[in-house]
Chain A
Amino acid sequence: DTGVSQNPRHKITKRGQNVTFRCDPISEHNRLYWYRQTLGQGPEFLTYFQNEAQLEKSRLLSDRFSAERPKGSFSTLEIQRTEQGDSAMYLCASSFFGRGDSNQPQHFGDGTRLSIL
């Protein structure tokens, strides 16, 4: 059973450029989450999907950020017109939700580290 996979591991880009990250969850997991982690801090929630539906978004997710999970499998997180403050580790997590079992833990990937020049 493979874990959560994120690509790329590192992304360096110039301010103002668009970037896209990909997350492949654990295969049987129907919930997928995105978090952001800055240096010395804990992860902060951005958004989550159940299957293909985006059910919750944090106010941290500005209009420059968009996340999709078109077929309920992998997900992409796009940041448009990147700013210096977007530099962070972007973490993806997944979990399984089934009837009567709403508290499965979230399993995290290695993250994508974004550096804005």
Chain B
Amino acid sequence: AQKVTQAQTEISVVEKEDVTLDCVYETRDTTYYLFWYKQPPSGELVFLIRRNSFDEQNEISGRYSWNFQKSTSSFNFTITASQVVDSAVYFCALRNTGRRALTFGSGTRLQVQP
């Protein structure tokens, strides 16, 4: 069985603050894939990043960075210098090898105030 936990239901920050969204996962598989998606108010889920379980290198893309730690089963997402356009619900998801289904967490709603 697999499970994704996003303990932060809602976070509110002021523009230009840094913010980290937490994601903890559970799986019995040794190989798996982790994802982050953004869901703005319009509703469409936007793919942000994919990480393989055998690749623990952290990744930075502009203001976004991801910290994958297998030892703690965490895949956290940091937005640096947040902007109002970052306001959305962010979902962490897990896919086990051999399955196509994504298992999503319950999401973290981020509100960035001007």
Binding site for B on A (CB under 8 A): 3, 31, 33, 35, 40-45, 48, 55-56, 58, 89, 91, 93, 103, 105-111
A110 to B104 CA separation, bound complex (whole angstroms): 17
Chain A residue nearest in CB terms to B4: A42
Given A45-B102, A56-B99, A93-B45: 8 more A-B contacts, CB < 8 Å: A3-B44, A41-B106, A42-B93, A42-B104, A43-B102, A103-B52, A105-B47, A105-B50
Q: Report B39-76 CB contacts with A as 1/0, cut-off 8 Å.
A: 00011111100101000000000000000000000000
Residues of B within 8 A of A93 (CB): 45
B contacts with A, residue count (CB < 8 A)? 23
Partner of B100, one of A33, A42, A108, A109: A33
Partner of B101, one of A41, A56, A91, A111: A56
Partner of B107, one of A42, A55, A105, A108: A42
B78 within 8 A of A: no
A31 to B105 CA separation, bound complex (whole angstroms): 22
> What distance in Å separates the Cβ of B33 from its nearest Cβ neighbour in chain A?
6
Residues of B within 8 A of A89 (CB): 43
Residues of B within 8 A of A45 (CB): 101-103
Interface residues of B in 87-114 (CB under 8 A from A): 91, 93, 99-107
In the complex, are the beta carbons of B43 and A110 less than 8 A apart?
Answer: yes
In the complex, are the beta carbons of A111 and B100 less than 8 A apart?
Answer: no
In the complex, are the beta carbons of B45 and A43 less than 8 A apart?
Answer: yes
Partner of A48, one of B37, B100, B104, B105: B100
In the complex, are the beta carbons of A106 and B47 less than 8 A apart?
Answer: yes
In the complex, are the beta carbons of A42 and B44 less than 8 A apart?
Answer: no
Chain B residue nearest in CB terms to A3: B44
30 contacts between A and B (CB under 8 A): A3-B44, A31-B100, A35-B102, A41-B106, A41-B107, A42-B4, A42-B91, A42-B93, A42-B105, A42-B106, A43-B45, A43-B102, A43-B104, A44-B104, A45-B103, A48-B100, A48-B101, A56-B100, A56-B101, A89-B43, A91-B45, A105-B35, A106-B47, A108-B37, A108-B45, A108-B46, A110-B42, A110-B43, A111-B43, A111-B44
